[in-house]
Amino acid sequence: MARSITRFLFIRLLQLIPTVLGVLLIVFILSRILPGNPIVAILGPKATPENIERVIKELGLNKDYLTQFIEYLGKILTFDFGRSYIMNVRVRDLILSRLPASFELVITAYILAVIMGLPLGVIAALKKGTWVDDLVRVIGVIGISMPTIWLGMVVQIVFGIYLGFPVGERIDPLLAPKPITGFMLIDTLLEGNIHGFADALRRIALPALTLAFPLSGLLMRLVRANMVEVLLSDYIRTAKMKKLPQNIILYRHALKNALIPVVTVMGLYFAVIVTGDIIIETIFSWPGIGRLVYEAVMLRDYMVIQGTVIFISLIYVLVNLTVDIIYFYIDPRIKI
């Protein structure tokens, strides 16, 4: 049967629905088992008896659990994540306002991780057994063992305190560009605002590199392992028999095969980046969703915590779906 992307998408989306429902269910359950009185927890310091009454009616907490869940589902599906009573703002608005900062940071980190990790992994495989390989393996294992918290702090101490790198904003407010895409790096360029671009670059450099380092370690190791396996396979021997030029064997035959499993894993690595992102944004005071999570936990603002968990999980699901689609296109053996 011919492979069709629509068929593939259709089946994938069908499989996604129960998973997404499950995620929403888990968050729902968690939100209802808060210690003590959940409403007190949600309201925090504003938990006066009148407010409690009002909130119970607003959130429908006096109804039975099934109705609650259905209403909750309805709200989520219309992107209504409720209100944070502690911060007095709609959760959705809060998340959306912080989104561009995190998005830019995460994408930059992903790109940096690929630039750093991929070529090193390939070189290590090609030069297996030499000092180059050993060096890459050392960097790799250090990368994955390095707790982001510690690395972030060390980087801050060295670069932030001793070398005076700026911290806490995405860009000097005086140099801020008109928000077109929401990405500082792009918007400044679009305006021809070179000073702004340089400033934004300097500010994003440290958090992005710190975020990218563990990821690049993971990539280095994975790419190396896959390449080594591929280089030992029979079809590489066939390519050598065919007396093909070295770079053709490397790119067309070896890399093409070795990188396929790497692509799938890249989607899973999003979870790793999320972990690092929360920490990095906290340490570097980057105004994104990661720091929002930290703030919400500090304030015990459960509505925001709930909202961010749902939001990030949905993004995660989307990322993996995208990866699956890419995978479908690059591996001819996949049928559905």
Partner 1 sequence: MGFFEISPETKDVLVRFLQPSTILGIAILGSIIILGVLIPLISPYDPYATSDNVLLPPLSSGPAWPYIFGTDSLGRDVFTRVFYAVSTDLAVALITVGLAASIGMVIGLVSGYFGGAFDSVLMRIMDVLISIPGFMLAIAVAAALGASLFNAMLAVAIVTIPIYARLMRGVTLSIKEQLYIMAAKEAGLGSLRIIFKHVLPNALAPLIVQSTLELGNAIIYIAGLSFIGLGAQEPQPEWGLMLNVGRKYLREAWWFATFPGLMIFLVVLSFNLIGDGLRDALDPRLRGTIRIKRSRLWRFLKSET
Partner 2 sequence: MAVLEIRNLTVLYYTPKGLVKALDDVSLDIRNRGEVLGLVGESGSGKSTLGYTIAGLLPDNAETVSGKIVVNGVNVLNRKEASKARISVIFQDALTALNPVLTIGEQIAEVFIYNHGLSRKEAYEETVKVLEQVGLPRNFVNRYPHELSGGQRQRVVIAMALSMKPDLIIADEPTTALDVTVQAKILKLLLKVVKENNLTMLYITHDLSLVAHMCDTVAVMYAGEVVEYADVKQLFKEPKHPYTKALLKAVPRVDVDVEELEHIEGSPPSLINPPSGCKFHPRCPKAMSICKRRKPKLVSINGNRLVRCFLYG
Q: Return residues touching partner 1 (CB under 8 A).
A: 18-20, 22-23, 25-27, 30-31, 33-35, 137, 141-142, 144-147, 149-150, 153-154, 156-157, 161, 270-271, 274-275, 278-279, 282-283, 293-294, 297-298, 300, 302, 305-306, 308-309, 312-313, 316-317, 320
- Write each residue from 179 to 218 as x if it is in contact with partner 2 (CB under 8 A), else as -, in one continuous string: ----------------------------------------
- Identity of the residue, 198 or 248, whose beta carbon is nearer to partner 2 in the bound complex: 248
Distance CA 207, CA 113 (A): 12
What residue ranges in the chain does DSSP mark as E strands?
A: 83-84, 89-90
Choose the stretch contacting partner 2; rule: CB under 8 A; options: 25-33, 194-202, 213-221, 239-247.
239-247
Asked whether position 1 contacts partner 2 by CB under 8 A, the answer is no
User: Do residues 258 and 158 lie in contact, with contact meaning Cβ atoms separated by under 8 Å?
Assistant: no
Q: How far is residue 281's CA from residue 101's CA, in Å, rounded to a whole number? A: 10
Distance CA 200, CA 170 (A): 6
Rg, C-alpha atoms of the chain: 24
If the CB atoms of residues 149 and 198 are measured against partner 1, the closer one turns out to be: 149
Quick one: 202 or 256, whose CB is closer to partner 2?
256
- Residue 141 interacts with which of partner 2, partner 1, none, CB < 5 to 8 Å by class: partner 1
Residue 118 or 185 having the CB closest to partner 2: 118
CA distances from 85 to 79, 88, 336 (A): 18, 5, 46
Element holding 197 (H helix, E strand):
helix 194-231
Q: 89 phi and psi, to 5 degrees?
A: -155, 155
Provide the minimum distance between the beta carbon of 1 and partner 1 in the complex, in angstroms, as a whole number.
24
Distance CA 137, CA 148 (A): 19
Residues 244-273 interacting with partner 2 (rule: CB under 8 A)? 244-245, 248, 252-253, 256-257, 260
Q: Binding of partner 2 at residue 234 (CB under 8 A)?
A: yes
325 within 8 A of 9, measured Cβ to Cβ: yes
* Closest distance of CB 323 from partner 2, Å: 17
Residue with tokens 């000097």: 172
Q: By CB under 8 A, tell whether 3 contacts partner 2.
A: no
Helix, strand, coil share of the chain (percent; to 5): 80, 0, 20
Which residue lies nearer to partner 1 by CB, 189 or 297? 297
Cα 18 from Cα 10, distance rounded (Å): 14
Minimal distance, residue 251 CB to partner 1, in Å: 26
